[in-house]
Amino acid sequence: MKKKLAILVILILMIGAAFVITTPAEAGVKPTTVVYNIYATDGYIRLVDGTPLYIYGFVGGRKGEPITFMPSYDPISGIQPANVTLAGGAPDPTGGPVIGDELQLQGQAQFPAPVIYATSDDVVEIRLKNLGVYAQPTAPNDPHSIHLHGLDVDAANDGVPETSVGAVPANLCYDGVTSNDCSANGGSAPGAGNVVVYMFHQKQASTYLYHCHQEADIHVQMGMYGALVIYNPGDAARLTGPGRGQGGTIYGFKYDKDYIVMLSEFDVRQHTDEEGTYAPSVETFMDSGGDTITVPVGTDPMTWNVVEYKPQYWMINGLSFPNTIHLDVPGVFNYAQWIEAYPNYDALVTGSVSTTTNPSQQFWKTPGEKVLIRMINIGFETQPMHMHGFHFKILGSDQRAWKWANTITWGKPTPFGFGLEKNTITIGSGETYDIMVDFGQQASNAPQYAPNAADPSSGDFLTMWPGSTFGGVQTRYDPANGNAPVVNTDTGQPVIPDAGDPFNPVTYVGGPAVSQLIPFHNHDDYKATNNGVYPGGMFTMLVILP
C-alpha cells in the first residue's frame, strides 16, 4: 500500500514537473519591437559590364544601427563615389518636406533593398517615407509602398477608402510639377510627405521578401525589392541577419549558416523609359519614291510597353557573375565596397566538409556543415536553378515546411539520402524555397575530411584542393578579358589560382581564388550571360572548405 502511494506521489510530482518545465517563452529572449527606417527614392547603379542603369529603390536600415550605403553612380562624370556610413543609423523620418539628414539619402536607392530581419516574437515597425526622384529629377515622381510578400496579413483590414493607406505618395506639390517644399507652389498634394508605419508580427520563422506594389509592373522591375527574414527567437543569426555565418533553425532543422539567393533580372529598356531616354528600336528602308522611312521594329511602340519584356541581365542578390563570386571588375566593380553596403547579400556560398558547429547534427549522414540557402525569385521570369555536385534537401517553400517530404521524427530530421532532394529547382516569380546543402556530401568520397598537418600528403580533400599536387579542378575567370578562363601559357591548361595555406582554413574563406568551386547557376544557360556574353548572369559558386 505504501509502495503504491509512493508511486502515485512520484507520478503526480512528475506530471507537475512537466507543467513547470514547459514554458512557452524562449529562455532569456524577450519579444521586442524592431524598427526599420526605410526611404524610397531613385538612383543609378552600374551593371556588371559597366552599363549605367537608372533604378528606383529603398535605402535605410535598422533603427539605431550604423548603416553603410553605396551612393548613386554618377553617369555623367563616370564616378562611383565612396561608401557613406551613418554611424547613428538611418535617420528617423520626418513627416513633411525632406529635411536634415534625410537629404543625404535622396537619390541613393540601394539595389537590392536592405534586408529586413527580426524574430517570430518581435513586432516589426517599418517607417517608410518617399524622398521622391532626385538622381533623375524628370522621372515620374511616383508613390511607393511596401508589400510584405508572404506575410499573413488580414486582407479585410486594408482600411476604408477615406483612410486607406498602402502607398506613400510622392512629395508632389499641388501644381503636379514641383515637389518637396510646396509653400510657394499651391501646397502639397494629398499625402505628400507622409511617414507610413507598417506594423507586423509574423509567427512563422522563414524566408520572405518585400517590394513596392505601386505600379508593380514598373516598380518591381526598377529594383524596389529586398529580402525579409524571420528567425526563431533562439537563432544566433537573428542578431546579424543572413549571410553572416551564423546558425539557426528552420522548420525544426538546424543549420550552421544561412544565405540569401535572390533572383531577378533587368530589361534595361524599362529603366531607360522611366529615365526618359528610351529609344525604341527602329528599322529604316526606302519607299518606292526613294524616300527614307523609319518605323518601329515589330510591335515595339514609341513608348516602352512592358509586354515586350526581354531582359539582358540576370542577377543573384543584385549581382551578375563574376561579381557574385567576389571578383572585381577593374574600374566597374569593387567587391569590398559592395559587401560593405550589402552585408547580408553575399551570394558566394561556402561550407566545410568536416566541421559543423552543431554537434547535435552528427547523427546526420555526414559531419559537414549544413547550409541553408534562402531562395527568392522576385524577377518576372521562372528560373531553373541547378547546383553541381550536390543534391540539396527542400525543407519548405513559401514559408511553409514540406513536412510530407522531410519530417522531424523524435527530434531528428530526415537525413540526407532520404526525403525530397534535388539538384535543379524551378522557382517562379514570387516563390521562395528554403533548401539545405550538406557540404559533407563532397567529403563522402573522401575517407579523411581534413588534411593532416603532420602529413601533407594525407587527406583526400587535398585532391580537390586547388593548391595540391593533384591539381584540383579550378579555373579562374579574367574580368579584363571578357571573363574568359585564365590560361596558363606554358601548359595551355586553366590556371590554378593561388591557393592559400591548405592547413589554415581561414585563408580559404577569402573567396573563390583560394578554394574548390562548384557552380550553382541558371540552367537556362543563356541567362548565364551578361547581355549575351558567357559566362555571366545568374551564376554563382559553392566554395568547398576542408
Partner 1 sequence: MAKTSPQKNSQKLAVPLFGAVFLVVIVAAGIGIARGAQPKSQDAPEAQKILDVQAHMPFQVLIPAYMPRDFIRGDVEIALDDVGPGGEPMIQLSYRTRNGETLFLKEWVPINPEKEILASSRPVETKWGQGWLLRQSESLAALWVDIGPLRASIYSPDAGVISPEELLEMAETLGPASNRQVFSFSLEMPTVREVEPPPPFEVPINEDGIQEITLVVTPGGYSPVRFSVRQGIPVRLIFRQLGQVGCGNVLIFPTDPENTTALTLESASDKKILEFTPSVVGDFHFTCSHQMYRGMMKVVP
Binding site for partner 1 (CB under 8 A): 23-26, 30-33, 35, 63-64, 91-96, 121-123, 125, 127, 140-143, 152-154, 157-167, 169-170, 172, 174, 176, 189-191, 193-203, 214-215
Cα–Cα distance, 468 to 451 (Å, whole number): 11
Nearer to partner 1, 62 or 476 (CB): 62
Cα separations (Å) of 74 from 107, 182, 325?
11, 28, 25
Q: To the nearest whole angstrom, how small is the minimum distance from the Cβ of residue 201 to partner 1? A: 4
Nearer to partner 1, 195 or 495 (CB): 195
Enter the C-alpha cell of residue 281.
Answer: 528600336
Q: To the nearest whole angstrom, how small is the minimum distance from the Cβ of residue 158 to partner 1? A: 6
Give me the long-range contacts of 169-172 (CB less than 8 A, separation at least 24). 169/130, 169/143, 169/194, 170/130, 170/132, 170/133, 170/141, 170/142, 170/143, 170/144, 171/97, 171/98, 171/130, 171/131, 171/132, 171/141, 172/132, 172/141
Identify any residues that bridge with 54 across adjacent strands, giving them in sequence order.
Answer: 44
Q: To the nearest whole angstrom, how small is the minimum distance from the Cβ of residue 249 to partner 1? A: 18
Cα–Cα distance, 318 to 336 (Å, whole number): 15
Nearer to partner 1, 63 or 326 (CB): 63
Cα–Cα distance, 484 to 472 (Å, whole number): 19
C-alpha dihedral, 318 to 320 to 325 to 331, nearest 10°: -100
Give me the long-range contacts of 402-405 (CB less than 8 A, separation at least 24). 403/251
Q: What secondary structure does DSSP assign to 394-460, as a single string?
A: EEEETTEE-TTTS-EETTEEPPTTSS-EESEEEE-TT-EEEEEEEGGGGGTT-SS-S-BTTBTT--T
Cis before 322 (ω within 30): yes
Q: To the nearest whole angstrom, how small is the minimum distance from the Cβ of residue 30 to partner 1? A: 7
Nearer to partner 1, 17 or 153 (CB): 153
Question: Phi and psi for 253 in degrees, rounded to 5?
Answer: -90, 135
Nearer to partner 1, 6 or 197 (CB): 197
Q: To the nearest whole angstrom, how small is the minimum distance from the Cβ of residue 402 to partner 1? A: 22
Nearer to partner 1, 13 or 199 (CB): 199
Nearer to partner 1, 112 or 193 (CB): 193
Q: To the nearest whole angstrom, how small is the minimum distance from the Cβ of residue 240 to partner 1? A: 21
Enter the C-alpha cell of residue 9.
Answer: 506521489
Enter the C-alpha cell of residue 1.
Answer: 500500500
| CB-CB neighbours of 167 under 10 Å | 22
Strand, helix or coil for residue 269 = helix
Enter the C-alpha cell of residue 336.
Answer: 569590398
Cβ atoms of residues 466 and 515 within 8 Å: yes
Q: To the nearest whole angstrom, how small is the minimum distance from the Cβ of residue 63 to partner 1? A: 8
- Nearest residue to 386 via CA among 524, 537, 526: 524
Q: How many residues does the chain have?
A: 546
Q: To the nearest whole angstrom, how small is the minimum distance from the Cβ of residue 146 to partner 1? A: 8
Nearer to partner 1, 210 or 255 (CB): 210
Q: To the nearest whole angstrom, how small is the minimum distance from the Cβ of residue 200 to partner 1? A: 6
Nearer to partner 1, 30 or 310 (CB): 30
Nearer to partner 1, 229 or 436 (CB): 229
- Nearest residue to 530 via CA among 27, 12, 47, 125: 47
Nearer to partner 1, 275 or 369 (CB): 275
Q: To the nearest whole angstrom, how small is the minimum distance from the Cβ of residue 192 to partner 1? A: 9
Q: To the nearest whole angstrom, how small is the minimum distance from the Cβ of residue 94 to partner 1? A: 5
SS3 content of the chain, % helix, strand, coil (to 5): 15, 35, 50
Q: To the nearest whole angstrom, how small is the minimum distance from the Cβ of residue 224 to partner 1? A: 14
Nearer to partner 1, 398 or 524 (CB): 398
